[in-house]
Amino acid sequence: MQDYIKQLNPSQAEAVLGTEGPSMVLAGAGSGKTRVLTYRIAHLIGNGVSPFNILALTFTNKAAKEMRERIEKILGPQARNTWMGTFHSVFAKILRIEHLKINFPADFTIYDTVDSKNLIKAIVKELALDDKIYKSGVVLSRISTAKNNLISAEKYSNDEHIKQEDKMTAKPRMAEIYTMYQNRMLKSSAMDFDDLLFKTNILLKDQPDVLLKYQHMFKYILVDEYQDTNFSQYVIVKRLAAAHRNLCVVGDDAQSIYSFRGADIGNILSFQKDYPEAQLYKLEQNYRSSKNIVNAANAIIANNKDQIHKTVWTDNGDGEKIKIIKTATDNEEGSFVAKSIFSEKMNSQAQNLEFAILYRTNAQSRSIEEALRKHNIPYKIYGGLSFYQRKEIKELIAYYRLVLNPHDEEALKRVINFPGRGIGKTTIDKVIIAANNNETSMWNIISSPNKYPGIGDSTQSKLAAFVDMINGFHKVIRKFTAYDLGQQIASASGISKEYFTDKTPEGVSRYENIQELLNGLKHFSALQEDEHFEEPTHTLDKFMSDIALLTDADNEKDEDKDKVALMTIHAAKGLEFNHVFIVGMEENLFPSQLSVHSRTELEEERRLFYVALTRAKKTVHLTYAQNRFRYGNVVFSEPSRFIAELNEEYIEKNTNKPVVRVQASSSHSAEFAAPRPVIKSTFVKLSSVVQAKSSSNNSADISEGVDVEHMRFGKGKVISIEGNDANRKATIDFEKHGKKQLLLKFAQLKVIN
């Protein structure tokens, strides 16, 4: 093991060797935190700690798999016995083991976001509420927030402050929906993602024997990306670590960007208060990026007040300076990015996968995509519809879910009449009403339809055939491999035939996706390691446990590799690319207009910019458009305050380019750096722009030294003029807003005599 220690720098080695007691590894971007986590676990096992006594929690299955494979290379197969995985996968496993303690079957279903939204829509409809007010996404987000703060449906219903908040947002029946939502999932033997943590907290709180069992099992606990943990995760970790206090958290407060998901930066900022004896290790050497990128990122994040101080540095070369590009429109921005990628590929033989285009919102991808297509540059949008969310895959997966758990009502409603078997909507509605009135599951109703009035004989026989099919497969779950049973279900259900006979392009694509899923089952089944078992070990229930917790990052396929990556900055966290384009660097877009009302929100936006910068190894382009087409209107934009915060030392000053960086005085930089009132975007219809051009002062009257007045920025003096004709631009020093550069054909300036 000592040979591996020699591969670490001094700070990394300290973090690996300091295994006893609480510790925090503050890991700057590109500082090798995965290596530290891996070697720390390997070091524990190599020094006699049983792998069964180590719990390592990550935020993606991909990260856990990578760490496990690295440890296996060092220590061999014994590393497989480490409890390692995402929060949700590890605690789903514990809940299945301890299912009797929480009155759930071991084969409970895990609802994804689509399942949860469908259930909420059904509840809203039953309560005759306005689905435009009680939108499923908004309601689910509210319920998720409650669960992540360990607020049960009962507690929610009895909290007057919470109910008052719901009344103020015109959703006074939120508590009722939350209660019905939980009752329906209980009836379906299902949990959503938040329940996996919420019910783990209940288990550990209400069952002292279970808490004691896992406290003594997990003698060493390691948590990756600690800055992204929410309150529910924080409480679980604190409870489990209480006995031995050998807790190691790894993270970077400068990369805390998920507050909208419930992540609490306070967890990492307050770690040393929670554990006063904790050791702090700082990984400050960046192995990823050039000096210019590292130093620019440091200068940006230094503007934040809430942080644990560290100084990231690198031995890499200076590299190219950051380029800031101004364009007139978002279409020109897209064209610039595409041409730049094409040029770089030609000049340096770069591959598509070396480039990433990052944006603040998904809507920004349109103009970028159009430009890339025009230049025949292949690209992939990350964070789009994942494989397991496609309609045909959801349908076959629903059959698998139903075979494992016949009481799963969302799965049952999806497939009871698909492919069509003569069980119509009227019958399904009768079954739902009967289940609700009798406080039982839909499965119990259709298993004995003769006990309930209103379901005819012919329909009863169709229901019986469906029930017999599902029951038949349920009895042999552990008799066949995942592939053998999965293929039989696909055939017997009629799904394979349904899409095979559909020869439209969509039908062919869906049939191919079904076959791809079956290929996945075949690969999973082929992993069976021990042929001495009489029954297969890689069965359908094991496969379903794995895919229920997959993230988009876990679904990437080889054919997606050599493509330019398009994604939001949030989706880019943890990734790295040689060349990064950060587009839409405009005020009220980045930082978001919703995030400039408080220092806390603005600081998260700045951390988001820090994350974007530190994805790059070699080059960074920042682009912004003066006019952007949004929501069917042209929006006049000004450059992001984050541009003004960049240190001039790390920015390319090539004034020969047709587009140049807006020059800002030091006072202007200070204005942009500080939190300030939001500047409302000016939405102008295209027809209004034409009218305004004819009614405003002739731009030819605007010259250097002239005093002017702008409808938004007020009075100012023209400092300089550049460009010709329609592209004439004026730099104006406004009395209250400092220097701005405006395109004269849109500026509507009035000359003051």
Sign of the C-alpha dihedral computed for residues 585, 589, 592 and 598 taken in this order: positive
Specify whether 745 is catalytic. no
Specify whether 306 is catalytic. no
**Of 14, 19, 34, 163, catalytic:** 34
Burial of 129 (0-12, 13-18, 19+ CB in 10 A): middle
Cα 52 to Cα 45, 63, 583, 642: the distances in Å are 10, 19, 46, 47
Specify whether 503 is catalytic. no
**Of 224, 228, 333, 354, catalytic:** 224
Contact (Cβ atoms closer than 8 angstroms) between residue 116 and residue 409: no
Length of the chain measured in residues: 753
* Beta-bridge partners for 565: 356, 380
Amino acid making up residue 471: N
Contact (Cβ atoms closer than 8 angstroms) between residue 187 and residue 441: yes
How many CB atoms are located within 10 Å of the residue 253 CB? Answer: 22
Provide the 8-state DSSP code for 511: H
Amino acid making up residue 480: F
Q: CB-based contacts of 379: which residues, under 8 Å, 6+ apart?
A: 352, 357, 369, 372, 563, 564, 565, 566
**Of 112, 225, 409, 552, catalytic:** 225
Amino acid making up residue 620: V
* Beta-bridge partners for 581: 357, 621
Specify whether 224 is catalytic. yes
**Of 282, 310, 321, 615, catalytic:** 615
Strands 714-722 and 707-710: antiparallel
The DSSP code sequence of 93-146 is HHHHHTGGGGT--TT-EEE-HHHHHHHHHHHHHHTT--TTTS-HHHHHHHHHHH
**Of 60, 82, 255, 539, catalytic:** 255
Specify whether 615 is catalytic. yes
Task: Give the tokens for residue 66.
Answer: 């990578």
Specify whether 33 is catalytic. yes
Report the alpha-carbon distance of residue 400 to residue 130 in Å, rounded.
34
Contact (Cβ atoms closer than 8 angstroms) between residue 284 and residue 28: yes
Residue numbers annotated as active site: 33-34, 224-225, 255, 615
